[in-house]
């Protein structure tokens, strides 16, 4: 198969965004590591070149190893043997390849054995691996746990655990339970402290835990007896490689991402270590963990959408009906162009978000090393707000777009797509989870509407609006300006009621409207940098304008009194 | 002992080459890779270097090609090679390539030279043999295994229905084929970054004229459309095989 990096010039395009210069300078602390590590970059160009070389190899691994294994892994799946997870054979081969290549823990500092990669290239790896096999990316991507340990654990814990991630050990985040899914405040797993032994122990059950038998696990548990809400929860590290005593009771039989084992785990006097402060487990650490994971799912969504679009395009060119390839029929070429425009738009949103997260995280880590100047603090704050507003937006929108693209890609295949003969059948199944896990779209909307209420998104839209673009793009900018007016009008109407239920009722419509405007602007700016996004811009903004109008129309004629019409009677 | 790998850089094998308006292969925006056979040769050389049971202590890459191939060389360095030499030339045929390699090797000492059996772009399968001939050193072709034994080499070749092992003196040029290493080694991420700082020596080429000249390139004819036969209808398949493709005779 082709190299998944070099066959997709969009990746390199996003890699070369102007903001990368600043991100790299912050992340590399002005290249201070070059005197200590012979593999540390010496300047910006050197860093970008390193990113490029690494992405090229990842692209090769994706094309040559991971993608060809995907079908067998989907067929075989993992299994439980003696209360342990046994991966499918292809998963083992994939893991071996990425371990040998040194692709685990790449965002961690060099002193732990990492490559100190910024979030943008890390996200790009996730994008490519997801295109190759959406199930495998979960196992690889759980190195997000390492980021959380890096942010909040003690120096001793960091020294002990982080190098292990870099050597290729896998992670898991054990959050959800049978009665605590979206509502993590009701987590019951009990953490008790044995004073004599100076040791925490975990007891209870976790459910739906991706890669639950991974080597190093972050566990959310109730450390404060008698509490019922999120303030009684703390975060723990459980060393599964060392103790090996949580039991995998079963793994779920799933619709998609079959290669990724989803475990039910039983903890019985399982020793664990507290991370950070007690009671901060959910409020602080899980939120950070989830934000990282959400960006990961946004990347997974874009990668799956890429795979689906490519399958559809190839099929439509080859498949002949009524004497010509079906790509020549308006019904098909329209679908394909809309898919492509949405794919480009969601990828652009993904990397914009990754850059915001990068800027924020870089300042966050610097702030722990020294106190920040006033302007630096302001910049950190700005990017923190943007990262918080964009992460749920990217996860919510990219996953929905991914599902839509997978749906249309299968549709283009007709009956053949419904059969196991073509990869699209698996891709379609794999797509479905993206809008569910790490918070459903409905929950992303709850987080994203806050970004609208606080004005963060609108402020950023204004910034896009003021960016100078080439004259030929002015028509599209005018369209986006008028879409923004329409959005402000609709949002104003909803928010001025100050009725929470009414705001929640329209939240998704508003978030999608804002998302369409933001993605429209991002494509406009992409086209300003490189003209090959022109077609996607044209198609995307045309569709987005119509979609937003429909939503605005719905909002403008609705009132609080309408809510009753939508409620299902309880029997 | 030093092993020199003759490394060719070729278009990614998944890329479909198009012809330009004047009928030449269009090499614009082509992703380049290490020639797959050379990649296996390098992998085997590195395995030998890492195996304490022999005296291989250095692996050097030798490439004839333009600076645009530099990144591919760097990747090969990241796999673990110690040194790389690039002869700055764009050869027009195998003879020219061999000429540059020989000119370089004549000026230095070497023990073992490995060359992939062919390059996946032009499939010339000539450089290895030419170099050995021009240097007047022994060579073995279609090698699938190499082991060192003191200052001699055990070289394994697949023959029709079996295999033979030759004991060869050094210096030697071995033309290797698939099987010489199990699968190509993956460059490590850290290796990639360090490779930037490893030295790639660039050498100016001597003057040489090619012996051959390309008159014309042609693309293979497009594949005929695929005829799908329903699985429940073997009769139709037989009918087509007999009367349309004329590959079987039933009556």
pLDDT in tens, B47-68: 999 988 888 889 999 999 999 8
Q: How many CB pairs below 8 Å do chains A and B form together?
A: 60
- In this structure, which CATH number among 3.10.105.10, 3.40.50.620, 1.20.120.470, 1.10.1740.10 belongs to the domain A455-566? 1.20.120.470
What chain A residue is nearest to B75 in terms of C-alpha separation?
A53
What chain B residue is nearest to A320 in terms of C-alpha separation?
B225
Q: pLDDT value at position B10?
A: 94
Helix (H) or strand (E) holding A320: strand A320-321
Which segments of A154-278 are extended strands (E)? 171-174, 190-194, 199-210, 216-222, 233-239, 247-251, 262-275
What chain B residue is nearest to A39 in terms of C-alpha separation?
B194
Whether B199 shows a pLDDT value over 80: the answer reads: no
Between residues B119 and A395, which one has the greater pLDDT? A395
Whether B245 shows a pLDDT value over 90: the answer reads: no
pLDDT in tens, A242-254: 999 999 999 999 9
Would you kindly state where each structural domain of chain A is located, as residue ranges?
Answer: 1-169, 171-279, 455-566
Whether B16 shows a pLDDT value over 90: the answer reads: no
What average pLDDT does range A244-273 have in this prediction?
Answer: 96
For the domain made up of A1-169, give the CATH fold: Butyryl-Coa Dehydrogenase, subunit A; domain 1 (1.10.540)
Q: For an interface test with B, which of A7, A36, A50 has the most B Cβ atoms less than 10 Å from its Cβ?
A: A50
Confidence of residue B193 (pLDDT cuts 50, 70, 90): confident
| Among A115, A118, A107, residue whose Cα is nearest residue A33 | A115
Is the CB of A33 inside 8 Å of chain B's CB atoms? no
What average pLDDT does range A417-424 have in this prediction?
Answer: 95
What average pLDDT does range A361-369 have in this prediction?
Answer: 93
What average pLDDT does range A520-547 have in this prediction?
Answer: 97
For the domain made up of A171-279, give the CATH fold: Butyryl-CoA Dehydrogenase, subunit A; domain 2 (2.40.110)
Whether B213 shows a pLDDT value over 90: the answer reads: no
Confidence of residue B180 (pLDDT cuts 50, 70, 90): very high
What average pLDDT does range A15-34 have in this prediction?
Answer: 94
Beta carbons of A115 and B189 less than 8 Å apart: yes
Is the CB of A94 inside 8 Å of chain B's CB atoms? no
Residue A449 in tokens? 């509407």
Q: pLDDT value at position A570?
A: 67
> What string of DSSP letters covers B20-89?
-TTSSB--TTPPEEE-HHHHHHHHHHHHHHH-TTS---EEEEEEES-GGGHHHHHHHHHHT-SEEEEE--
- To the nearest whole percent, how much of chain A has pLDDT over 90? 94
> Can you give the pTM of this predicted structure?
0.89
What chain B residue is nearest to A6 in terms of C-alpha separation?
B31
Q: pLDDT value at position B249?
A: 87
Whether A393 shows a pLDDT value over 90: the answer reads: yes
pLDDT in tens, B81-96: 999 999 999 998 999 9
Q: Looking at CA atoms only, how far is residue A230 from chain B in angstroms? A: 40
Confidence of residue A38 (pLDDT cuts 50, 70, 90): confident
Whether A381 shows a pLDDT value over 70: the answer reads: yes
Confidence of residue A571 (pLDDT cuts 50, 70, 90): low
A218, A265 contact by CB (below 8 A): no
What average pLDDT does range A449-461 have in this prediction?
Answer: 95
Task: State how far the Cα of A72 lies from the Cα of A290, in Å rounded to an integer.
Answer: 30
Is the CB of A62 inside 8 Å of chain B's CB atoms? no
- Give buried/exposed letters for A409-419 (b at 16+ CB in 10 A, else e): bbbbbeeebee
Would you kindly state where each structural domain of chain B is located, as residue ranges?
Answer: 2-203
Q: Looking at CA atoms only, how far is residue A299 from chain B in angstroms? A: 21
pLDDT in tens, A527-537: 999 999 999 99
- Give buried/exposed letters for A14-24 (b at 16+ CB in 10 A, else e): bbebeebeebb
A263, A209 contact by CB (below 8 A): yes
Q: Looking at CA atoms only, how far is residue B84 from chain A in angstroms? A: 17
ipTM of the complex: 0.72
Beta carbons of A102 and B12 less than 8 Å apart: no
Q: pLDDT value at position A413?
A: 97
What average pLDDT does range A284-302 have in this prediction?
Answer: 93
pLDDT in tens, A102-141: 899 999 999 999 999 999 999 999 999 999 999 999 999 9
Task: State how far the Cα of A164 lies from the Cα of A105, in Å rounded to an integer.
Answer: 9
CATH hierarchy code of domain B2-203: 3.40.50.620
B197 neighbourhood in chain A, CB within 8 Å: 38
Q: Looking at CA atoms only, how far is residue A114 from chain B in angstroms? A: 9
Q: pLDDT value at position B113?
A: 96
| Among A282, A324, A355, residue whose Cα is nearest residue A14 | A355
């Amino acid at each position: 198969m082709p190299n998944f990096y070099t066959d997709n010039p969009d990746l390199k395009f996003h890699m070369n965004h102007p903001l990368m210069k600043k991100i790299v300078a912050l992340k590399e602390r002005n290249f201070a590591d070059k005197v200590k590590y012979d593999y540390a970059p010496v300047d910006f160009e050197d860093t970008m070149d390193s990113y490029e070389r690494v992405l090229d190899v990842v692209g090769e691994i994706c094309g040559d190893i991971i993608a060809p294994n995907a079908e067998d892994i989907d067929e075989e799946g993992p299994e439980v043997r003696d209360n342990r997870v046994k991966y499918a054979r292809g998963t083992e081969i994939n893991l071996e390849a990425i371990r040998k290549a040194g692709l685990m823990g790449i965002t961690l500092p060099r002193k732990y054995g990492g490559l100190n990669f910024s979030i943008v290239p890390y996200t790009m790896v996730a994008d490519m691996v997801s295109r190759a096999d959406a199930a495998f990316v979960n196992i690889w991507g759980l190195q997000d746990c390492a980021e959380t340990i890096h942010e909040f654990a003690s120096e001793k814990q960091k020294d002990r655990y982080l190098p292990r991630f870099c050597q290729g050990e896998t992670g898991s985040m054990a959050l959800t339970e049978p009665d605590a899914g979206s509502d993590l405040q009701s987590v019951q797993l009990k953490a008790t402290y044995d004073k004599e032994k100076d040791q925490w122990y975990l007891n209870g059950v976790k459910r739906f835990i991706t890669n639950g038998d991974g080597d190093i696990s972050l566990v959310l548990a109730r450390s404060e007896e008698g509490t019922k809400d999120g303030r009684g929860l703390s975060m723990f590290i459980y060393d599964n490689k060392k103790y090996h005593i949580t039991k995998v009771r079963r793994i779920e039989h799933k619709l998609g991402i079959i290669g990724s084992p989803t475990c039910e785990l039983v903890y019985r006097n399982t020793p664990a270590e507290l991370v950070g402060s007690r009671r901060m487990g959910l409020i602080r650490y899980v939120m950070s963990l989830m934000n990282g994971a959400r960006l990961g799912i946004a990347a997974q969504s874009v990668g799956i959408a890429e795979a689906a679009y490519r399958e559809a395009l190839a099929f439509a060119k080859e498949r002949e009906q009524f004497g010509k390839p079906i790509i020549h029929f308006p019904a098909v070429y329209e679908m394909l162009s809309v898919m492509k425009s949405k794919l480009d738009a969601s990828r652009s949103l993904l990397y914009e978000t990754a850059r915001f997260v990068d800027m924020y995280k870089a300042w966050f880590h610097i702030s722990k090393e020294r106190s920040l100047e006033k302007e630096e603090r302001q910049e950190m704050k700005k990017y923190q707000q943007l990262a918080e507003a964009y992460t749920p937006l990217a996860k919510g929108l990219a996953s929905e777009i991914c599902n839509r693209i997978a749906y249309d890609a299968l549709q283009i295949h007709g009956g053949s797509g419904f059969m196991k003969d073509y990869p699209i059948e698996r891709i379609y199944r794999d797509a479905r989870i993206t809008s569910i896990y790490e918070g459903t779209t409905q929950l992303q909307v709850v987080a994203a509407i806050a970004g609208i209420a606080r004005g963060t998104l609108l402020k950023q839209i204004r910034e896009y609006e003021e960016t100078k673009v080439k004259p030929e793009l002015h028509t599209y900018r005018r369209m986006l300006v008028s879409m923004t007016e329409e959005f402000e009008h609709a949002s104003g109407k909803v928010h001025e009621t100050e009725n929470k239920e009414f705001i929640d009722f329209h939240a998704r419509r508003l978030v999608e409207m804002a998302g369409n405007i933001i993605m429209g602007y991002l494509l406009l700016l992409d086209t300003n940098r490189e003209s090959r996004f022109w077609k996607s811009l044209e198609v995307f903004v045309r569709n987005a304008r119509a979609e937003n109008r429909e939503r605005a129309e719905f909002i403008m004629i609705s009132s609080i009194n309408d809510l009753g019409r939508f409620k299902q009677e309880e029997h | 002992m030093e092993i020199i790998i003759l490394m060719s850089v070729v278009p990614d094998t998944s890329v479909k080459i198009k012809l330009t308006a004047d009928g030449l292969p269009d090499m614009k925006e082509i992703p380049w890779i290490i020639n797959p056979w050379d990649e296996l040769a390098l992998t085997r050389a590195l395995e030998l270097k890492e195996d304490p049971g022999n005296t291989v202590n250095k692996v050097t890459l030798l490439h004839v090609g333009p600076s645009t191939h530099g990144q591919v060389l760097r990747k090969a360095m990241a796999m673990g090679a110690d040194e790389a030499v690039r002869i700055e030339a764009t050869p027009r045929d195998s003879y020219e390539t061999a000429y540059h390699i020989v000119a370089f090797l004549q000026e230095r000492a070497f023990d073992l030279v490995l060359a992939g059996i062919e390059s996946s772009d032009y499939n010339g399968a000539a450089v290895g043999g030419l170099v050995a001939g021009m240097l007047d050193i022994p060579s073995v072709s279609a090698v699938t295994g190499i082991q060192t034994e003191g200052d001699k080499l055990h070289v394994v070749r697949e023959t029709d229905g079996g295999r033979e092992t030759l004991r060869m003196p050094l210096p030697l040029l071995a033309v290797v084929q698939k099987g010489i290493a199990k699968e190509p080694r993956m460059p490590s991420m850290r290796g990639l970054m360090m490779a930037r700082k490893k030295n790639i020596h660039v050498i100016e080429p001597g003057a040489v004229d090619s012996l051959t000249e390309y008159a014309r390139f042609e693309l293979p004819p497009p594949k005929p459309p695929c005829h799908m036969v329903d699985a429940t209808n073997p009769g139709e398949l037989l009918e087509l095989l007999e009367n349309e493709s004329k590959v079987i005779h039933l009556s």
